[in-house]
Structure 1
């Protein structure tokens, strides 16, 4: 796990062995079973999670009682509910394991402490946050500019292995299309 984390960090910012050790010692390993919640609505998000292995989704329940998936995260991705984590306010979303998932997690207090001890870590998280913002903006652009069928084929082309790991109804929710229409698109693609 340490090597995986170090390799990930060093893609963005170079850390020496002592810095990695200091960071790694603050992280806790947690395992979540399939369908287990990392975070539930109306609870404060206490951790920032680095996914070692597995797959999670972030979603909310709309006024009609429908799940609306806003994010998927898999191996080597960070996931949290940023507003709840930073402001210590109740989350408006859930984070749930889609597969058995192992994560490294860190609390806000420990992360803030590490920012002081290893200033490069703050730079790393700024870069990660910027990349997440760019990904969200791209998703918004795709949703505004593409027809639902184009969104599906773009999604499949961009993440072919990912599509095999996620139930189809969840992909439909994420793409804001019905499961029936997704089935029709999949038939057309064959």
Structure 2
């Protein structure tokens, strides 16, 4: 757990302008958890009241469409943060599931503690707004790029912008992130290998 705490402190140091004393105080608000593969952290139909930092492993945010297909919106690997952000902000029932895609070590902060910390640590608010801006931009890029791209180009985009996903994540989950079937993804990967 100590190694995980060091990662959280380092992440806060690298991504905020907080001094070391404030980093220690803020880090103390996060609770450490070990989660098993496929453990559900947030569930469709419930209100999200937590924010997560991944120190080891991978979390996956997805929803299930009317046909029962999983549509992956985001993966969070080591040294990244995630939440069912729409529900977290609006405090309305979530459409998403947030699960541990791999056995993971995470830190969790409650929504109440997170927002209360803005008063004590104004730099945290700046960090949060930057996170929201990045999440919006990334989401818009994925929507616009993916809507106008052929499957092979979507795969190339992920290879260029998020290569760790292809090495770490199951092809079924990557396919749901790319908006295609697993068999289509396998064919496209094979086609790309032929051209190399």
TM-score range, shorter chain: over 0.9
CA RMSD for the aligned pairs? 1.4
Counterpart position of 1:173 = 176
Q: How many residues are aligned here?
A: 190
**Pairing 1:129–2:132 present:** yes
Once residues 145 and 86 of structure 1 are traced to their aligned partners in structure 2, the CA distance between those partners, rounded to angstroms, is 29
Question: What does residue range 124-163 of structure 1 map to in structure 2 within 5 Å?
Answer: 124-163=127-166
Q: Deviations over 1:75-134 (max 9, x none)?
A: 111111122223322211101111111111111111122111111111111111111111
> Which consecutive residues of structure 2, in runs of 5 or more, have no partner in the other structure?
none
Aligned equivalents of 1:110 and 1:49: distance in 2? 13
Assess if the C-alpha contact under 8 Å between 1:54 and 1:100 holds in 2.
yes
Residue 174 of structure 1: how far off its partner (Å): 0.9
Distance 1:15 1:32 in 2: 29
- TM-score of the pair, normalised by structure 2: 0.91
The answer (yes or no) to whether the contact 2:13–2:23 under 8 Å persists in 1 is no
Q: TM-score, normalised by structure 1?
A: 0.93
Residue 50 of structure 1 is aligned with which of 50, 53, 61?
A: 53
What residue number does 1:8 align with?
11
